[in-house]
Amino acid sequence: MAETPTVYVTREIPDAGVEQLREQYDVVVWDEKLPPEKSHVESRLRELDADGLLCMLSDEVDADVLDASPDLSVVSTFSVGYDHVDLEAAAERDIAVGHTPGVLTETTADLAWTLLMACARRTVEAHEYVEAGEWETWGPTLMMGADVHDATLGIVGLGSIGTATARRGAGFGMDVLYTGRQRKPEREAELEELGVEATYVELDELLAESDFVSLHVPLVEETEGLIGEAELQQMSEDAILVNTARGEVVDTDALDTALEEEWIARAGLDVTDPEPLPADHQLMRHAPEKLVVVPHIGSSSVATRSRIAEMAAANVEAGIEGEELPNSALGDAGLE
């Protein structure tokens, strides 16, 4: 290990994390808008003889990356998810891997509700109507949207973010349905204490009965393409779909058809497949009348992103110092 350990950071992150690392280590940051190629990450790790790597969800960290620097002792990802890191290869090389669980729950739930409300009340479409100079008078049928109060909210995946999203339905007097691999009585009890009665149903029933369907499942083999043509056809023609989970959970071509054929009313997406979604992608022809898309900003508040940066930096520090990581992905995966 070099006299002063070196940390390579693959994107600019909030100052709270960078300054925390610079107090002890030499920190090199990729400062371009687009992420570096995997080959560039490998070469920089090798050139720097880096001791730590702070990476993003967009970085592929495989065996080649892990082997680039013989002194690499820790990989810390600026994310909750860690499917972009080869955990088994890291464990074989005795390289610690950290992530940032729990921190973005409430902020992402806020964003799910932002999309839900924007689609329900057609706010993006209405803004563009005003901006285009089309607002000439008040009209009794102008921009009529959907009521949120007293509606039925369907939660697909009642994990921490799904629960936080469901909890917000209390203020609107909503009925809440949820589905997943199994019923979660502990989550039901948590919500019931806050005045939300969450009822477990199968996916088919949730899709048919919900006015709003909000997706909160991880991306695994079972959830890839979970919402496809058959599922979208089961939804009400007045229903709104919200996805703040992962883009691949929804079949993009099927969603395009669903909006075109008016199987559903509208969709709000924080994540897409592909991601980023090109401005000329076929799906964008529905925006903003039937579609609202934002660029994966679920956790993008100043406070939350700063906290993620601090957590990611703390994992780097612990790994370089040979200490147990505050949040170990290897531990979560049972590889420690």
Strand intervals (E) in 30-131: 52-55, 74-77, 96-98
Assess contact for 170 and 153: CB atoms under 8 A.
no
Identify the active-site residue in 183, 205, 275, 281. 275
Per the annotation, the verdict on 246 as an active-site residue is yes
DSSP 4-40: S-EEEESS---HHHHHHHHTTSEEEE--SSSPPPHHH
Assess contact for 178 and 154: CB atoms under 8 A.
yes
Per the annotation, the verdict on 336 as an active-site residue is no
Rounded (10°) CA dihedral 171, 145, 175, 270? -80
**Which phi-psi region, left, alpha or beta, contains residue 111 (left: φ > 0; alpha: ψ -120 to 50)?**
alpha
- What separation, in Å, do the N-terminal and C-terminal C-alpha atoms of the chain show? 23
Give bridge partners of residue 26 from the DSSP assignment. Answer: 6
Identify the active-site residue in 44, 167, 216, 246. 246
* Three-state SS at 315: helix
Identify the active-site residue in 286, 296, 305, 307. 296
Q: Which burial class, exposed, middle or buried, applies to 214 when counting CB atoms under 10 A from its CB (0-12, 13-18, 19+)?
A: buried
Per the annotation, the verdict on 261 as an active-site residue is no
Residues annotated as part of the active site = 246, 275, 296
